[in-house]
Structure 1
Amino acid sequence: MIANAAGPVMTLYFVASRLPVQAILGTAAWFFLIVNTIKLPFSVGLGLVTSESLLLDLILVPSLVLGAFGGRMAAGRISQAWFERVVLLLTFASGIYLLR
């Protein structure tokens, strides 16, 4: 279940590869959609996904939609240089957090 810990490393690779903002976000979104879909049966088996958690997920769908549209708008407006700075800072912070 720690596969999402690869996020900082993957992000560093994408930034070092000089991929554009939309490509980094799109590739990461698809990658983690696939990884988390594969993990779903195990999460159900471990009791991490329950009917109660699915109800909460349903309640949070409007926030998800707003966040998706807001993120898409922000990604279209942020410059490549600022995106890379923010991503590197947050990647560093999450890497430190994972090492704690």
Structure 2
Amino acid sequence: MSMYLLAMRLDVKTFLGTAAYFFFAVNLVKVPFQIGLGLLNTHILSIVLVLVPLVVVAAFLGRWIAGRISQAVFERLVLGLTAVGAINLLL
């Protein structure tokens, strides 16, 4: 997904917003299967509720960083982290 969005030459905020909506939709589709397999239960939901404030803080921090990072640095970061992820999947 990152490589596709980079190829579209999207600016930083559009790239991040599009990726967020895409992965939100993908993860939303997985929820019924996670419940059916017993991977999502009340214990996990209690952990999620504890972590919600951290997610909110991280979202604001990410938005602040996205407004200040240059396009070239962002693209290099995405390429580098995508390569690290690909290598990790191969190993």
TM-score, normalising length: structure 1: 0.88
RMSD of the alignment, in Å? 0.7
Name the counterpart of 1:19.
Answer: 10
Any gaps of 5 or more consecutive residues in structure 2? none
Number of equivalenced pairs: 91
Match runs of 1:1-100 below 5 Å: 10-100=1-91
Q: Secondary structure at the match of 1:77?
A: coil
Q: CA deviation at 1:16?
A: 1.8
Q: Between the two proteins, what is the percent identity of the paired residues?
A: 54
CA-to-partner distance for each residue in 1:41-69, whole Å, 9 max, x for gaps? 00011111110000000000110000000
Q: CA deviation at 1:98?
A: 1.2
Q: CA deviation at 1:14?
A: 1.1
Q: Secondary structure at the match of 2:67?
A: helix
TM-score, normalising length: structure 2: 0.97
Q: Quick one: which amino acid aligns to residue 72 of structure 1?
A: R
Question: Any runs of at least 4 consecutive aligned residues in structure 1 with deviations exceeding 2 A, and if so which?
Answer: none
